[in-house]
Structure 1
Amino acid sequence: MNWTVSYFNERVQREITEWPVGIYADYLRLLLLMEEHGADLRLPHSRAMGDGLFELRCKGAEGIGRAFYCTMVGREIVILHSFIKKTQETPDRELKTARKRLKEVKHA
């Protein structure tokens, strides 16, 4: 049984589709891997951020993108938040947004 991918809202999905083409292509490649094999990717493709939050690590010639996601019962992956990295560290506000959305999804 394959996994399904959904998005926290349309804005999250739209923002990812507007990523630079190289980063977006890597995102789609990693998404296909997760749909087929599940969300249990490891570094360098994904990293656990704690409390059920994961970071999908997308790269392209144009830079680096990050998509935060969680898993739900029934083999569902929910993309919660995304951004293009501009610094080495993940900005606190991006992580806070993802964690807030994780709580909303898990307690809905």
Structure 2
Amino acid sequence: MNWSVETLNETVDAELAALPADMRARFIWISKLITEHGLENVGEPYVKHIEKALWEIRLKGRDGISRALYVTVKPKRVIVVRVFIKKTQKIPRKEIELALKRAQEIET
């Protein structure tokens, strides 16, 4: 079975849609890497572990950088729970807390 990449809900869809076009294209490209090659075969610089069950898809574009925070659930599903434009070196704690809170909504 192949991996799938999904968003949690319409709120996350809107966050993704708000990104500049080049960052959205990068998200689609990395998602395709995950579905075609398997998440276990896609590492840095595309994805990176944050903390607990939270990981990030790293997006770079002409206007800066953004992150799509996700968790994995069985069977082989990547669920994106938060998308935002990154303005500082570290991911703000409030973004991590929001992503972890949203991740609790997922039915496994």
Query: Secondary structure of the residue that 1:26 maps to in structure 2?
Result: helix
Residue segments in structure 2 that go unaligned for 5+ positions in a row: none
AA at the equivalent of 2:73 = M
Structure 1 gaps, min length 5:
none
Q: Is residue 71 of structure 2 the alignment partner of residue 54 of structure 1?
A: no
Distance 1:69 1:38 in 2: 15
Q: Which stretch of the first structure deviates more once superposed, 37-46 or 52-61? A: 37-46
Moved >6 Å (runs of 4+):
none
Question: 8 Å contact 2:15–2:82 — kept in the other structure?
Answer: no
Q: Greater shift after overlay, 96-105 or 83-92?
A: 96-105
Aligned ranges 1:1-108 → 2 under 5 Å: 1-40=1-40, 41-105=42-106
Question: What is the distance in 2 between the residues matched to 1:92 and 1:83?
Answer: 13
**In structure 1, how many angstroms separate the alpha carbons of the residues matched to 2:7 and 2:68?**
11
TM-score, length of structure 2 as denominator length: 0.89
Is the 1:39–1:71 Cα contact (8 Å) retained in structure 2? Answer: no
CA deviation after TM superposition for structure 1 residue 28, in Å: 0.9
Cα RMSD for the two superposed structures: 1.5
Distance 2:52 2:104 in 1: 10
CA distance in 1, matches of 2:51, 2:93: 14
For the Cα contact (< 8 Å) 1:67–1:79, is it kept in 2? Answer: yes
Letter in 2 for 1:78: I
Aligned residues: 107
- Length-normalised TM-score, structure 1: 0.89
Letter in 2 for 1:74: P
Partner SS state of residue 71, structure 1: strand
Return the offset for 1:99.
1.2
